[in-house]
Amino acid sequence: MVLPGEFIHAAQRSSLMPKLTAFVVDAALSQAAHWRRDGLGVQMCLNLTDRDLLDSKLTGMISGGLEAHGLEPADLMLEIGEGVLAGEPAQAIAAVHALAALGVAICIDDFGTASSSPVRLKRLPVSEVKVDASFVTRLFDVADNEPIVRSLVGLVRALGIRSVAEGVETAEVAAALAAMGCDAAQGWCFSRPLEPAAARQWLANHLPAPARDGAPPPARDGAPPPAPDRDEAPGGDQGPERDAGPLVLPPQARRPAGRRLPRSPVPPAGAPAGSRPGAAAR
């Protein structure tokens, strides 16, 4: 079996990457449109590689795909690795701004693994940052991980950006993240990756009722809560792929934010495994 990370790295070294990206974008938007017709108001999230951002046709492909499938730009979030911030190639940065100008949400993935600076992060039109799973999964097992995650969450909050923790595998870690003020979490604590039909059922079971009708419910802080975005399979999630599911941490851990689509709450620590809502991989 070839793991996603290995496959994407091989594809990036070939001429197949643009075709692979185009296929995944179309498939993801098609699935998002299908769910929306079923009354599930969720936001689709896609990973982009550095090479994707150097493709001059990328913005047009995203815009055309949204129009072809009858979706609004806000129905899509694009995840970009932190390495883009560290290297800051002019063409890639210009692509990020062009995509944001469409109204698509931008997320920085694997945060904490590259030498990006707060100044660079603030320059980009970023609405969400994902703290890398390498810090989160072993939060209590490695001495420095907890203060590192706390610092990253605090930095992101200070910049007015939403924080998501990747690789959450236990309710204990989820509770610790909530106490830190992290906005959302994703990982196998909530669900293993799911096929579209199973993901649809999970969404129908766990999204608030207004979201199932396709309209975001109002949040207590005056802004609608965010949308399911994704979980990840072993070996990482590099490259363009469909995925669903960070889950919002308890209300007391949330902070005011911009417009969001609905997500489901993380259960309290100690909740029975069978009762835990989960993230579904698209």
pLDDT (0 to 100) of residue 16: 85
The whole-angstrom separation of Cα 177 and Cα 169 is: 12
Which run of H or E residues covers position 247? strand 247-248
The whole-angstrom separation of Cα 235 and Cα 212 is: 32
pLDDT (0 to 100) of residue 89: 80
Alpha carbon 271 to its chain centroid, in Å, reads 24
Q: Could you read off the pLDDT of 115-147 as tens digits, one per residue?
A: 777 888 888 999 999 999 999 999 999 989 999
Strands (E), 22-171: 44-48, 76-81, 105-111, 128-131, 162-165
pLDDT (0 to 100) of residue 185: 92
* Secondary structure of residue 14 in the 3-state scheme: coil
Q: Rounded mean pLDDT of 82-109?
A: 89
DSSP assigned state of 273: G
DSSP assigned state of 190: T
* Secondary structure of residue 130 in the 3-state scheme: strand
- For the 4-9+19-68+78-202+227-253 domain, the top CATH level (class) is alpha beta
Give the residue extent of every domain in the chain: 4-9+19-68+78-202+227-253
**Under 8 Å between Cβ of 50 and 11:** no
pLDDT (0 to 100) of residue 253: 34
Angle of CA points 229, 268, 203, to nearest 5°: 30
Greater confidence (246 vs 108) lies with: 108
DSSP assigned state of 208: -
Q: How confident is the model at residue 237 (pLDDT cuts 50, 70, 90)?
A: very low
* Secondary structure of residue 79 in the 3-state scheme: strand
Greater confidence (246 vs 49) lies with: 49
Residues of the chain with pLDDT > 90, as a percent, come to 49
Residue with tokens 């965010």: 226
pLDDT (0 to 100) of residue 261: 30
Q: Could you read off the pLDDT of 185-221 as tens digits, one per residue?
A: 999 998 888 999 999 898 888 877 655 555 444 333 3
For residue 165, give the nearest of 156, 195, 203 by alpha carbon: 156
Q: What mean pLDDT, rounded, does the chain reach?
A: 77
pLDDT (0 to 100) of residue 195: 92
Whole-structure pTM value = 0.75
